[in-house]
Amino acid sequence: MRFRPRRYQCPNCQWDFAFRKKRCCPGCGTLLLIASDMPTDAELTAIKSFWMWEPVKEKWDYIRDWEEHKREAMRRFEQHTQVWRTELVKAEEKLHPPTRWIQ
Ligand SMILES: [Zn+2]
């Protein structure tokens, strides 16, 4: 069996390719980042806007402003943590109901 590399389609020019040229679309040169490129935060801050491969959605996501994107992700994470804590407290109460009435 031959190894078949994953194919991507450029979100800009629709070029279908398996390998990028220096992180860029071989067709139009648009910067297309994949997580395995391991771009540093400083690099992304400098680039600011770019396309990034979203493996879960299997599509390219356009990051308009990396700083903004990070803030948004952080906010979502905080909300998520908040919901999670609330759920945890509820579960805890179910397990150990308030015992004030016993005394
Ligand atoms: Zn392209």
d(CA 103, CA 75) in angstroms, rounded, equals 42
Residues 48 and 91 placed together within one structural domain of the fold: no
Quick check: is 10 in a domain?
Answer: yes
The pLDDT, as a whole number, for residue 30 is 96
Is residue 35 situated within a structural domain? yes
Residues 92 and 80 in one domain: yes
CA of residue 10 to ligand 1 center, whole Å: 5
For residues 64 and 49, the answer to whether their CB atoms sit within 8 Å is yes
**Tokens, residue 80:** 């998520």
Same domain, 5 and 37: yes
pLDDT at 101 over 70: no
Structural domain that includes position 72: 66-96
In a domain, 103, yes or no: no
What residues does 31 pair with on adjacent strands?
A: 24
Q: Check whether 52 has a pLDDT greater than 90.
A: yes
Instruction: List residues, by chain if needed, whose CB lies under 5 Å from ion ligand 1.
Output: 10, 12-13, 15, 25, 27-28, 30
Residue 42 CA, ligand 1 centroid: distance in Å? 25
- pLDDT the model gives residue 5: 73
Cα atoms found within 13 Å of the Cα of residue 64, Cβ hemisphere only: 3
**According to the model, what pLDDT value does residue 97 have?**
75
Question: Where does 1-103 show beta strands of DSSP type E?
Answer: 8-9, 16-17, 32-33, 50-54, 59-63
Domain identity same for 86 and 36: no
Mind listing the pLDDT tens digit for each residue in 65-96? 999 999 999 999 999 899 888 998 888 888 88
